[in-house]
Structure 1
Amino acid sequence: MFNFFTINMDNPFLIGFLISVLGLFLLLINTLLFVYLKKNIATNITFNLLVVFLISYFIIEFICNILGFLKPASNIFVSHFAFNIQFLLLSAFFYKLFNQNGIKKMVIVAYVIYIIINGLLYFLRPQLFWEFNLFEISYISFAIIGYTLIHIYNNLGENKKYFYFTIGLSTYMLSSSLIFLTGNIELVFYENPYIDIWVFNSLFFIVYQILIFKEWRYIRQVNANNN
C-alpha cells in the first residue's frame, strides 16, 4: 500500500491518501490485537511469525506513508524492503504451516532461487534499488499466492487454520502485484479525468485488514472454547 502524491486540500488524490491512512490505522489495530492476544494465549512458532509479520508490516507501511507525505515519489525504494521482508517472514510462516515435507522443501528452494537471482539483478543494476523491480514483485507475489492456494486446498473441509488471513493475503497480493507490475508511476495516474488507480490497492488493503481481524476473532474464539 504505497502512495506517491502530495497532500493538500486541492489535490485530486486526497481521497486515495485518506483511504490509505484508514488502511494503515486498521493495520495498527490488528497488530495491537495480535500482540495482546499473544500475551494471553498459548502460542506456537507459526502464530509468533504472524505477529512479527504484522509488526514489521506496520513499520514499513508507516515509513512509506511518511515519506510519501514529505516527498512524493521518494518512497519507491521502500517497496523493496516491504516485498523482501514480507517474503522472508511469509515463507517461514507457510513452511511451518505446511505438513508435507515435499512442499516444505519447495518453499526453501523457491526462496533460495529468489535470493540468488534477485541478488544478481541488484549487483548488475544497482540503480534498480530506486525503481520498481518487476522480477522481485512478480516472483514474490506469485510465490505467496501459490502458498496461499496450497494452504486453502489443504484446509478444505477441516478447521479453518489461518483461513481468513490466507484469503485476505492472496486477494491483496493479487491486486497489488497487478498495480506494481506496471512498473511506472505515470501508468497508474490518469490526469484527465483524475483517476488514482492506487486507491483500488488501498481498498483491497482494507479488505485484507478486515479478514485479518476476522482471523484474530476466530483464533480468540477457538482458544476460548478450548479452555
Structure 2
Amino acid sequence: MSIQIIIVYIGYILLALNTVLFLRNYRLELTPIKIFTLYLIGSLVLQLYSSYLSNHRINNLFLSHYFFIGKFILLSLFFREILKKIILKKIISVVIIIVLVALCVYYIVDTTSYDKFNIFEIVVTSIPLIIFCFLFFIQKIEGSGSRFIFIVSGMFLYFLCSLLLFTAGNIKGSTKMLIWITNALLYILYQILIFVEWYKHFRKKPALT
C-alpha cells in the first residue's frame, strides 16, 4: 500500500471518528453544530461511496457535484449561524441563491458537465467559503469567544489548498503528486482541528449561547 493511500485512509478514519463524536450529543447542541454534523455525515457517506466505486473501477466523478454543492450549502448555513452581524447573515443568504442559480444555469447550458470534473463549480463554491472564514477571523479579532475557531481555521487552510489542487489540472508529474499529498495532509490537519474543537467545547455539555 502506497504512502498516498495510507494518508487518504487516515483522513477517512478521522472523519468517521469526528462524525461519531459530534453525533453523540447532536440533539443537545446549538444549530451551528447540528448543521456541521450534517456536513460531516454527508462527507463520510460520499467519501465511502466514492471509495467503493473507485475500488470497483466505476466512474465516481459525478459524486464531486454532490460533495461541493452540499458542502457549500451546509457550511454557508453554518457561517450564517456563527457570524453575528445581521448584514453578513443577509449577504450569505444572497450568495447561496446566486451560486445555486449560477450552477443551475451552467448545467442547463452544458448538460455534459455532470459527468466531468467541473472547475467552475469548485471555484464558485469554494471562494465564498474561504471569504466567510476570513470574516469569521475578523469577528474573533473584535472579540467573541473561542468557539469554532479550530473548525474554521482547519476549513481555511484546507479549502485554500483544495482550490489550488482542483484548479491545477494541467500540472503533471511530481509537482501534481506533491500538491495531492499536501492536500491529503491538510485534510488530516483539518480533521484533527475538528476533533480539538469537539474536545475543548462540546465533549462535556452543550455549548452556551
Fold equivalence (TM over 0.5)? yes
Alpha carbons 2:29, 2:207 under 8 Å: kept: no
Gaps of 5+ in 1: 1-8
Q: Distance in 2 between matches of 1:65 and 1:198?
A: 16
SS for the counterpart of 2:99 is helix
Aligned to 1:53: 39
What RMSD, in angstroms, separates the aligned Cα atoms of the two structures? 2.3
Q: Distance in 2 between matches of 1:204 and 1:45?
A: 27
Contact 1:28 1:58 in 2 (8 A): yes
Aligned to 2:202: 220
Percent pairwise identity:
27
Displacement, 1:137? 0.7
**Which residue is 1:206 aligned to?**
188
Distance in 1 of aligned mates of 2:31 and 2:12: 25
Instruction: Pick from 126, 129, 143 the counterpart of residue 111 of structure 2.
Output: 126
Deviation at 1:129, TM superposition (A): 1.1
Paired with 1:64 and 1:225, the residues of 2 have a C-alpha distance of 34
Which position in structure 2 is the counterpart of 1:4? Answer: none
Q: Counterpart in 2 of 1:6?
A: none
Query: 1:109 — aligned with what?
Result: 94
Contact 1:189 1:196 in 2 (8 A): no
CA shift in 2, pair 1:189/1:71, >3 Å: farther
> Pick from 13, 25, 32: which aligns with 1:37?
25
Aligned to 1:16: 4
Q: Which has the higher helix share?
A: 2
How many residue pairs are counted as aligned between the two chains? 207
Q: Tell me the distance in 2 between the aligned counterparts of 1:145 and 1:194.
A: 22
State which of 111, 126, 129 in structure 2 corresponds to 1:141.
126
**Counterpart selection for 2:57 from 68, 71, 74:** 71
The structure having more radius of gyration, on CA atoms, is 1
- Aligned position for 1:181: 167
* Alignment of 1:160 onto 2:146: yes
**Aligned-partner Cα distance in 1 for 2:155–2:105:** 28
Alignment TM-score, normalising by the size of structure 2: 0.90
Note the C-alpha offset of 1:194: 9.5
Per-residue deviation, 1:154: 0.4
Residue in 2 aligned with 1:3? Answer: none
Partner SS, residue 84 of structure 2: coil
SS at match of 2:173: strand
Deviation string 1:35-58 (CA, Å, 9 cap, x unpaired) is 11335xx31211111111111111
Distance in 2, Cα, partners of 1:225 & 1:101: 22
- In 2 relative to 1, CA 224–67 (structure 1 residues): closer, same or farther, beyond 3 Å? closer
- Whether the 8 Å contact between 1:145 and 1:173 is mirrored in structure 2 is yes
Where does structure 2 lack aligned partners over 5 or more consecutive residues? none
